[in-house]
Amino acid sequence: MGGGLAGLRAAIAAVESNGEITVGLVSKLYPLRSHSVAAEGGTSAVLDPEDNFDLHSYDTIKGSDYLADQDAVEEFVKLVPEQIYTTDHWGCPWSRAEDGRISQRDFGGLSFPRAVFAADKTGFHVMQTLYSRCLMYDRIHFYNEYFATSISVDSNRFNAMTTINLRTGEYTIFQSKSLILAAGGGGRMYRFSTCAHSTTGDGDAIAYRAGIPLKDMEFVQFHPTGLVPSGILITEAARAEGGYLRNSEGKRFMEHYAPTKLEEAPRDIVSRAMMWEIEAGRGVRGGYGNIEYINLDLTHIADKLEERLPMITDIARKFNNIDAAEGPIPVRPATHYTMGGVSVGIGTETVVPGVFGAGENASISIHGANRLGSNSTNECLALGNVAGKKAAEFASSHGIPDLNHDKIREEEKRLWEDIMRRDGGENVAAIRSDLGHTMDVNVGVFKTGEKLESAIKTIYELKERYSRISIQDKSNVFNTELQWALEVGYMLDLAEIVAKGAFERKESRGAHYRKDFPKRDDDNFLKHTIATYTRDGPRLEYSPVRITKWQPAERVY
């Protein structure tokens, strides 16, 4: 399920590891429209002899505010370099240094310039490379614009995936011996977000409803530099290449918050610093209604823009009519990434044998409470590869279970007799917009118990309104209103888990900052949150963090 970086990489791995395997790749989008295509800045890998795996692990673990499982991180960093060379051999145009070697740049929270990149269009180039590779195999069958609505699990085995063929409206069932969940993140629960509008956490919600637990959903990443007012990402590479953040007094301020790393501190720290500046009355105003923002100044690195940052230069020009060489770009923290996801082990396995998870859909967990920039695209490649191989291995020794017709009919009824026929007059788009608003305001960079309670109350109200929606469009062909309705339903479930998990976590760690509990509390909260579906909402339990070499320490940059 999913045709982004993780899904495509997994599909290739599955067919290349076993000459008998066929893959059905189900994607609600044409694969090259997946959000992965928008990845900009880079992908971290240990390639330089002066860098090493321990350093990459340590940066990742410190970045995670010690919530990452350290054995998983140590395993992961070792898998990445091979993926860079493999994609290079498959034709990915990685940016190169004068001497012909693959270039690497600095990125937030890295202690070595480790991010491999293809200008500031990394995701686009890697996706093109993987998609071309997939087309070499007639054993990879693409089911593009098929929208997965549920999976059924029967006798602790994956039984079937139900989908709607968006082109025809036909209810279509897929069965297979194994399943890889690679349906991306859920950043669009929020309104001000760098994520594609399709990033609605379907894979998380579908797995959760089928009884597969989700891990650490309260950790949602805010990227410091979302373009105002659209939210389009201005890559972290802009700061890594030397860009400055300035407040309304024209001053740089990061020295007060991260004296050593300054603008190149991890995202959670920079996002909070910007919000503190805005709250202290030093936000910039003007040009965008009441929105207060911070200026990203690239004028002193104008000579680098064309070669190193062409896309964001173009974005600033096209969307805001700003020449980045001449004036600052207005930015604000925007929702960017969900650290949480389907709980998987080091081999990407879920609690259901034969069901695997990879990419943003899964939480293994290497990102813990805060992912470092450039540590997701590499995860998609490295763990997509693992998931593909494991799923192929499972498939070669198992059959396809008998279809559970009752479950298939139940889902059919939910779609066509319940959701499609609801007639309470509530508008799906309005519910989505209200959800985004309450998440922005109450579950944002700064949280409090009071705000979270207010969010949970609103989410309950929205769920109630959701039970009274009306779908005006009764047609079968590309019924985007029905699709939106299903996506909003998934996001309401996920938002409830995020807000409740955040309410219960009475500490501050990584991207989760509680003004009423501003300190990290290792005695009580050095643990993962595990959310399991019940009819009355998520049941929250906790599981220990696995520590190998790095004892939790104060996190200063």
Q: How far is the CB of 482 from ligand FAD (least distance, A)?
A: 12
**Does 210 engage in binding with ligand FAD (CB under 6 A)?**
no
Q: Among 64, 247, 335, 375, indicate the residue that binds ligand FAD (CB under 6 A).
A: 375
Under the binding rule (CB under 6 A), the answer on residue 374 touching ligand FAD is: yes
241 Cα distance to chain centroid = 24
Catalytic residue of the set 33, 114, 188, 223: 223
Q: Which two tokens stand for residue 369?
A: 């409470």
Q: Pick the stretch among 323-331, 370-378, 500-508, 547-555 that binds ligand FAD (CB under 6 A).
A: 370-378
Under 8 Å between Cβ of 282 and 290? no
Under rule CB under 6 A, residue 338 binds ligand FAD: no
> Least CB distance from residue 409 to ligand FAD, whole Å?
20
**Please, are residues 43 and 383 in contact by the beta-carbon 8 Å criterion?**
no
CA of residue 479 relative to chain centroid, distance? 26
Among 202, 268, 277, 349, binds ligand FAD (CB under 6 A): 202
DSSP category for residue 228: T
* Contact call for residue 387 and ligand FAD (CB under 6 A): no
Site string for ligand FAD, 1-20 (x = CB under 6 A): xxxxxxx-------------
Q: Which of 150, 348, 363, 377 binds ligand FAD (CB under 6 A)?
A: 377
Of the residues 21, 31, 267, 356, which one makes contact with ligand FAD according to CB under 6 A: 31
Instruction: Indicate the burial class of 535 (C-beta count within 10 angstroms; 0-12, 13-18, 19 or more).
Output: exposed
CA distance 33 to 257: 37
Q: What is the dihedral of CA 533, 538, 541, 542, to 10 degrees?
A: 100
- The DSSP output letter for 523 is H
Residue 194 or 458: the one with the smaller Cβ distance to ligand FAD is 194
Residue 148 or 275 having the CB closest to ligand FAD: 148
For ligand FAD, the binding residues in 128-147 under the rule CB under 6 A are 147
Type of residue at 472: Q
Close Cβ partners of 409 (under 8 Å, ≥ 6 residues apart) = none
CB of 32 to ligand FAD, least distance (A): 9
CB of 540 to ligand FAD, least distance (A): 24
**Interaction of residue 348 with ligand FAD, rule CB under 6 A:** no
Q: Is 199 in the site for ligand FAD (CB under 6 A)?
A: yes
Of 64, 150, 376, 438, the one binding ligand FAD by CB under 6 A? 376
Q: CA-to-CA distance for 161 and 178, rounded, in angstroms?
A: 11
> Does 239 qualify as catalytic in the annotation?
yes
Provide the minimum distance between the beta carbon of 168 and ligand FAD in the complex, in angstroms, as a whole number.
15
With CB under 6 A as the contact rule, the residue among 21, 46, 67, 195 that binds ligand FAD is: 195
E strand intervals along 232-285: 244-246
Position 333 contacts ligand FAD (CB under 6 A): no
Stretch that binds ligand FAD, among 11-19, 22-30, 447-455, 499-507 (CB under 6 A): 22-30
Distances (CA, A) of 481 to 1, 166, 223, 374, 469: 21, 11, 29, 35, 11
Catalytic, out of 239, 336, 371, 512: 239
And the tokens for 550? 């790095």
Extract the tokens encoding 92: 């990915």
For residue 266, state whether it binds ligand FAD (rule: CB under 6 A): no
Element (DSSP H or E) covering residue 527: strand 527-532
DSSP, res 193: B
- Interface with ligand FAD (CB under 6 A), residue total 45
The residue among 159 and 361 lying less far from ligand FAD, judged by its C-beta, is: 361
Minimum distance of ligand FAD from residue 388's CB (angstroms)? 12
233 touches ligand FAD by CB under 6 A = yes
Residue 183 touches ligand FAD, criterion: CB under 6 A? yes
Contact of 546 with 71, CB cutoff 8 Å: yes
Q: With respect to ligand FAD, which residue has the nearer C-beta, 146 or 503?
A: 146
Q: Which is nearer to ligand FAD, 202 or 507 (CB)?
A: 202
Q: Is 152 among the residues that bind ligand FAD (CB under 6 A)?
A: no
Binding mask 41-80 for ligand FAD (x = CB under 6 A): xxx-------------------------------------
Distance CA 300, CA 297 (A): 8
E-strand stretches of 313-374: 329-338, 341-343, 355-357, 362-363
Residue 50 corresponds to which tokens in the numbers above?
Answer: 């002066």
Draw the binding track, 110-129, toward ligand FAD (x: CB under 6 A; -: no contact): ------------xx------
Q: What is the separation of C-alpha 458 from the centre of its chain, rounded to a whole number of angstroms?
A: 24
Burial grade of 347 (CB within 10 A; 0-12, 13-18, 19 or more): middle
d(CA 379, CA 360): 9
Tell me if the bond preceding 229 is cis, omega within 30° of 0.
yes
CA distance 51 to 408: 52
Selection from 360, 4, 390 nearest residue 178 by Cα: 390
Q: Which is nearer to ligand FAD, 182 or 273 (CB)?
A: 182
Q: Is 223 a catalytic residue?
A: yes
Active-site residue set: 223, 239
Note the residues at the interface with ligand FAD (CB under 6 A): 1-7, 26-29, 31, 34-36, 38-43, 122-123, 147-148, 182-185, 194-195, 199, 202-203, 233, 336-337, 359-361, 374-377, 380
